[in-house]
Structure 1
Amino acid sequence: MPRVSVDRLQPGVFISLAELGWLDHPFLLNGFRIADAGQIGVLRQMRLESVEWDPERSSVEPLPESGEGAEPEVDFAAGALDAMLDSKRERAVRVREQRERLARCERLYEQETAGMGEILKDLGARPVESHARAKAAVGRIVVGLLKADSVAVHLVNMKGKEPGLAHHAMNVMVLSLLLGKAAGAGEEDLKNLGLGALFHDVGKTDVPSRVLKNAQRSASEEHFYQAHVGYGIKNVAAITDMAVAAKNIIACHHERFDGKGYPNHLPGAKIPRLARMAAIANRYDNLCNPFDLRTAKMPTEAVAQMFRVEGAAFDPELLSLFIKVLGIYPPGSFVQLSDGSVGIVVETNSRELLRPLVMLYDKDVPRHEALLIDLADADLGVKQALHPAKLPLPVVEYLAPRGRVDYYVEAVH
């Protein structure tokens, strides 16, 4: 980018301070459009003679070389700069804490998912023991959610091996519990919901991988695929103390509200309510995380498809509530902010659904140090959702290197 003298700056010129480093200037972002004369005064207080500027992102040209037409020099007190730097240092501490919290959630997600994977793997040989371990794991999450004043939903950046049934089960369980809590389900119902969601696809272990991964199944392959519901019920048959409500989620998670689902073609309220919740969570995760990630929907696209195209398949009241729970920009959504910055939503909070935590793309900042902007305490908003196919590949790979959307929830008191 070309350089321009600070004396030639005026509101509307987009500048970059990336060469200084985020901690070495008092502004929220490395790159921003000058908003007022006060910001120019701060730059002068920093004793900067020139800065980089971006003609394409500027709404005006810098002032003429002669300074003709320039606004009078602003007497900007050094104390104001000190106050901004203090605020920046406090923000840096919050960013570090946010990054540490997200890293902790990713570790917990991997630990929980590994544990769920062991439970699912051992179900056939040790069904009673697996059931007991699953109840304990689900109960721990449910108790945390019930005690929380609000819930933070985190986007997880998986670092481990390729995902399997356990990752899908974990996502469906988390999303189902979020919906169940919002719907006012009690503790016992939430535990049954979580348990049924965890086990909803256990029958897929009896279906060949080539059938599971084939998006264009033949009629006979589709019949084989649909049989996973019956296989699932068979696989938990030895667990005599499993609640009927949990078993019904395994049996009914592919039923549709319009009666066109399977295996029993149950319509409307004849589908158990917890199964209707799990069906919504299951479909959402399948849209966001199909076997072929090239066909994956963005979270905003998945929500739109379920509401506008597939609405007849789901309980309309629960579907509307699910969309409200995830927010307009669910974690995993690529967004453009009001200042033109591009990022990905990494966390939403039930208190501030319209002002999520966003990780910003900046080619000058390593990804592990990427700036996190909490829109709840920033003078910024989301301008629009973006489709990754319309973004440069380096931006997509920086923000979402694995292309998956995996969730973990954290109680916020």
Structure 2
Amino acid sequence: MSAAPDSATAQAGEISLDASQLRPGVHVRLPVPWIEHQFMFNSFVIADDEQARLIAAMNLPQIFCDPTRCRVPPLPRQPPGEEAAADPAASAAESARLRAVAAARMAEKQERSRKMTQLRERLDKAQQHFVGAAKAVGGAIRHFTTNPREAVRQVDKVSAESTAALLADPDSAIALIAEKAQDDGHAAHALSVMTLALLIGKQAQLPEAALRALGIGALLHDIGKVTINASILRNNERNRHEEAIYQNHCRAGHELAARAGNLSQAMLDAILAHHERFDGSGFPDRLAGNAIPLAARLVAITNRFDNLVNPVDYRCALSPSEALSAMWTREKKAFDATLLQLFVRAMGVYPPGSIVQLADGRVAAVVGSAPPGKPLKPKVLVYAPEVPRRQSIMVDLAEDDTMSIERPLRLQERPAEELDYLLPRRKINWSYLADQR
């Protein structure tokens, strides 16, 4: 990411103000490091007289303003020496009050920063889990045909660890970051499908043993693809012959897994029937309704979601909110309605990984699910290029009445520098799944 512009120099279109020109509705940019002042952002529109007084009390040599962002024009600049006379005692008392307010807000900002650092550390820990899990699953997939028992052992270990993490940490939950690395795309997809399936399974209150079996089946659901030429898998316009080969990956995977000899029926069901559809339109056996095993119905939902968000052709990618909307409005008949509803509820109105516009015009990435009582209030990371990304501003909207989401945004419509800041891994489809109580 390119370096941020010099904050002490006027940027294109900006003018310089002094404190006498400040009033509510005027845009300001403070030319000091973000960490050295009490406001949430360096650049903002003054909300009230108190904010104007607090900015004036900073005694900055200059303040920058973008007139196009002002709701009202700045006040006329006062000539030097024409300040209104004031009672010295009253001025001293007001200065002391403003210093106390600034100190309290600075302490509040530092406490917010501490909480966000803790959240960021949990997300980093989850990413480390993903990297290790992806390596293990990638190796298991590559070596499944030659050493299936060892491959299943590795997959079982990943499923057990992920299931335990999901159940043990409901507040920060699981964050497996689905980076579609070119050399390990199958593993990343498998991890996405597994974690999302576990999320639905937990919503459905499946016992831990069933969750663990579900996790293994989800990780191996596409194992049959190891028998198919990569050119067919990457082709979005397969002819009838190629489509028949592609659809055979379900049965081929089931046969490979059955020969391993140490997988349960639920695991085998997920592999064989994850492309079956509730309305009978799927494959390989055109099963319908509850004739489709439960594990396969679960994996069918999360497999479809991940394929919509991270398709072979990235230009066709949907945002998480768009993918959920498409599945609910256009494809609902294809899935178990009860399980799909649980999935939509778990992911939330603004699923993690979504890019949104806030009510004040700022852009943010959703990094944490909203609490059940406030479905429109997730945790967000705000685009603020003047703030180093490792210190980036994360806001829990459920605890902040001053900020809200206005609408979701499409990834394809956002500039590269914005996405590099908000989603540095670029192919995230979701990044944080909080427990839904």
User: Would you say same fold, with TM above 0.5?
Assistant: yes
Matched residue, 1:190:
211
- Residue 297 of structure 1 deviates from its aligned partner by 0.8
Residue 130 (str. 1) matches residue 151 (str. 2): yes
Matched residue, 2:119:
98
Change (3 A) 1:305 1:279: same
Matched residue, 2:108:
87
Q: Of 299, 319, 325, which residue of structure 1 is paired with 2:340?
A: 319
Residue 62 (str. 1) matches residue 74 (str. 2): yes
Matched residue, 1:178:
199
Q: Of 8, 11, 14, which residue of structure 1 is paired with 2:27?
A: 14
How do 1:195-210 residues align onto structure 2 when only pairs under 5 Å count?
A: 195-210=216-231
- Residue 225 of structure 1 deviates from its aligned partner by 0.6
- Residue 99 of structure 1 deviates from its aligned partner by 2.7
Matched residue, 1:252:
273
Report which structure shows greater RCO (CA 8 Å, sep ≥6). 1
Of stretches 46-55 and 277-286 in structure 1, the one that deviates more from structure 2 is: 46-55
Matched residue, 2:51:
39
2:368–2:433 Cα contact (<8 Å) kept: no
Of the two, which has the highest radius of gyration?
Answer: 2
1:186 maps to a residue whose letter is P
3-state secondary structure, aligned to 2:395: strand
- Residue ranges of structure 2 left out of the alignment (5+ in a row): 1-13
Change (3 A) 1:221 1:276: same
Matched residue, 1:264:
285
- Residue 334 of structure 1 deviates from its aligned partner by 0.8
1:32–1:339 Cα contact (<8 Å) kept: no
1:375 maps to a residue whose letter is L
1:200–1:232 Cα contact (<8 Å) kept: yes
Distance 1:155 1:205 in 2: 23
The RMSD of aligned alpha carbons is: 2.6
2:178–2:188 Cα contact (<8 Å) kept: no
Q: Of 421, 424, 428, which residue of structure 2 is paired with 1:398?
A: 421
Change (3 A) 1:285 1:55: same
Of stretches 342-351 and 260-269 in structure 1, the one that deviates more from structure 2 is: 342-351
Change (3 A) 1:101 1:89: same
Change (3 A) 1:100 1:227: same
- Residue 149 of structure 1 deviates from its aligned partner by 4.0
- Residue ranges of structure 1 left out of the alignment (5+ in a row): none
Distance 2:395 2:243 in 1: 45
Change (3 A) 1:357 1:161: farther
- Residue 65 of structure 1 deviates from its aligned partner by 3.2
Residue 223 (str. 1) matches residue 236 (str. 2): no
Of stretches 217-226 and 340-349 in structure 1, the one that deviates more from structure 2 is: 340-349
Matched residue, 1:362:
384
- Residue 31 of structure 1 deviates from its aligned partner by 2.0
Change (3 A) 1:173 1:97: same
TM-score normalised to structure 1 length? 0.91
2:156 maps to a residue whose letter is K
1:105–1:408 Cα contact (<8 Å) kept: no
Distance 2:69 2:183 in 1: 39
Distance 1:101 1:56 in 2: 39
Matched residue, 2:311:
290
The Cα offsets for residues 93-131 of structure 1, whole Å up to 9 and x where unpaired, read as 223333333222222211111111112222212212222
2:206 maps to a residue whose letter is A
Distance 1:155 1:400 in 2: 14
- Residue 150 of structure 1 deviates from its aligned partner by 4.0
1:147–1:411 Cα contact (<8 Å) kept: no
Change (3 A) 1:188 1:349: farther
Distance 2:146 2:186 in 1: 18
1:150–1:350 Cα contact (<8 Å) kept: no
Q: Of 390, 396, 408, which residue of structure 2 is paired with 1:385?
A: 408
Of stretches 297-306 and 349-358 in structure 1, the one that deviates more from structure 2 is: 349-358
Matched residue, 1:308:
329
Distance 2:391 2:348 in 1: 26
- Residue 157 of structure 1 deviates from its aligned partner by 7.6
2:322 maps to a residue whose letter is E
